[in-house]
A = this chain, B = another copy of it.
């Protein structure tokens, strides 16, 4: 019996989840739910219905796990607790500071309903979080560094697009090579925000727009760019499409720790190089969706995070197969 997956929200991430489900024979996509007009959306999986989110409200949809693909700013804080009271759910909530509050809300809803939820799944938070916890637990005396990129930040790209005179933009977050090298060498440097990453912007301006003003507005934008060394490049719409239409990303969690009398150093690095951020994130969500469905069948309810899930729960293989072939 396959596990039935529903997708709420059909943007980049929803399509990534859809592709990931196709690659897992034990999973089956049973519905895509949207807040838009369902008839306006054509999905990549033939024979799967596109429905309105209203159809979810009675809790009767035939879904083992609902993958909620919304934004962390306003969508998920409302959606995940709401649907956690009706279905097993999983999301990729990534506003780190608000995770405890989001957890409490989702936990209360899912526990009361006898459902299982998992929040903040993906690669950061997600796989990077796992690696931070494994490393700190193994080597208590040490510190972790996280570098992101080279990759497209959609939040930063959107921020540039909101500037007057900008037609389109793509922003890459780039780790500073010398900083990466110092950390990998075990130097344990203190690094400021500016010393860790640079920001590289590719901007399509309106005809006749004041490019100097746009460049200044980008470089001085608080929270997004002012703390970084930022470069701004103006290109044509065709060039943007040709050279910057992908959504690559990645990064590294590097942990340096000591043992014995402190002279023995150990470096643990987990790194990702992703051609498609939404397709990889969708793949992580789908593996954890399998775990959520299993836990619910075992009677485990309430909200979980990736830290609460044993690795074997992510795999379609049996415990015997995993021990024989992967240990």
Residues of B within 8 A of A310 (CB): 307-310
**Which of B137, B276, B315 is A259 in contact with, Cβ under 8 Å?**
B276
Nearest chain B residue, comparing its CB with the CB of A93: B327
* Contact between chains at B133 and A311 (CB < 8 Å): yes
- The answer to whether A130 has its CB under 8 Å from any CB of chain B is yes
Q: Which residues of B contact A319 (CB under 8 A)?
A: 307-308
Interface check A179, CB cutoff 8 A: no
A103 to B318, CA, bound (A): 14
Determine if B270 and A327 form an interchain contact, defined as CB atoms under 8 angstroms apart. Answer: no
Contact of A320 among B100, B276, B322 (CB under 8 A): B100
User: Which of B133, B266, B320, B327 contacts A273 (CB under 8 A)?
Assistant: B266
Chain B proximity mask over A262-277: 1 for CB below 8 Å, otherwise 0: 0111111111111110
- State which of B20, B139, B276 has its C-beta within 8 Å of the C-beta of A283: B139
CB atoms of B23 and A140 under 8 A apart: yes
**Complex CA–CA separation, A118 to B58 (angstroms):** 45
Selected from B99, B264, B267, the residue in CB contact (under 8 A) with A327 is B99
Contact residues of A with B, CB < 8 Å? Answer: 16, 19-20, 23-24, 96, 99-100, 103, 120, 125, 127, 129-134, 136-141, 259-260, 263-276, 279-280, 282-284, 287, 290, 305-312, 314-316, 319-320, 322-324, 326-327
